[in-house]
Amino acid sequence: MKERKQFNYAHRWKIELGNDKQTLEKKKRRIIIPTVVSLLLVALLILPWTLQLKYKYELEKVEESIEYYAETAVTLGKVEELEAEVARMGTFIKITEEKSKKPRQVLVQINKLLPAGTTVSSFSLQADNSVQLGLVLSSPVDVARLWTNFRDSGLFIDFDIKAVSLTDDVQKLNLNLKLKQ
């Protein structure tokens, strides 16, 4: 048997055209799929770089705002240091005012303790509350009165006279005394 061939060109053309469409679609798929995949691959490769640029921009903004705060922090630090210094100086002044004795008041208290006829030739009040006192007494009896008055007054620490002349002459004493706080 012989095979019969059909000479219907229109039908044959449709069949061929159908095959061409399938091949065209296959060709389109072969072009589109690799293109899309390569674009996705490029996008994935570019993504870290774009994220890095984004984070760098945000970091620059944050660092800029930190610079403004850093200047403020330095100023606030200086203010705190100065406030602490003022507080220390205030306490120092308060302590020195409490501890310091006024020379006039000390001299008045010492004059109350001196026997009659005693004159003060020199007087000095030091910062450490030590008193240097030069006295002129008329007799050894006045020296004894001076010693008992100063000892019993409670103004001085360890009052003691080292040497006194027992002659009935004018006595000159130079005393170094330490006031009680």
pLDDT at residue 171 is higher than 60: yes
Tell which residue, 107, 120, 93, 110, has the closest CA to residue 153: 110
58 found inside a domain: yes
Side-chain-facing half-sphere of 39: CA atoms under 13 Å: 6
Residues 110, 34: one domain? no
CA–CA separation, 150 and 3 (whole Å): 156
Residues 92, 117: one domain? no
CA–CA separation, 68 and 152 (whole Å): 68
Mean pLDDT of all residues belonging to the chain: 80
Query: What are the φ and ψ backbone dihedral angles of 6, each rounded to 5 degrees?
Result: -100, 135
CA angle 76, 79, 81 (to 5 degrees): 110
Question: Which span out of 8-22, 90-104, 146-160 was modeled with the highest average pLDDT?
Answer: 146-160
Q: Which domain holds residue 162?
A: 103-178
What is the number of other CB atoms lying within 10 angstroms of the CB of residue 171? 21
CA–CA separation, 168 and 135 (whole Å): 16
pLDDT tens, position by position, 140-170: 788 888 888 878 777 778 766 666 666 677 8
| Per-residue pLDDT, 99 | 60
CA–CA separation, 103 and 174 (whole Å): 18
Residues 129, 50: one domain? no
| Number of structural domains the chain divides into | 2
Residues linked to residue 78 through DSSP beta bridges, in sequence order: none
Which residue shows structure tokens 């053309």? 13
Residues 123, 94: one domain? no
Write down how long the chain is: 181
1 found inside a domain: no
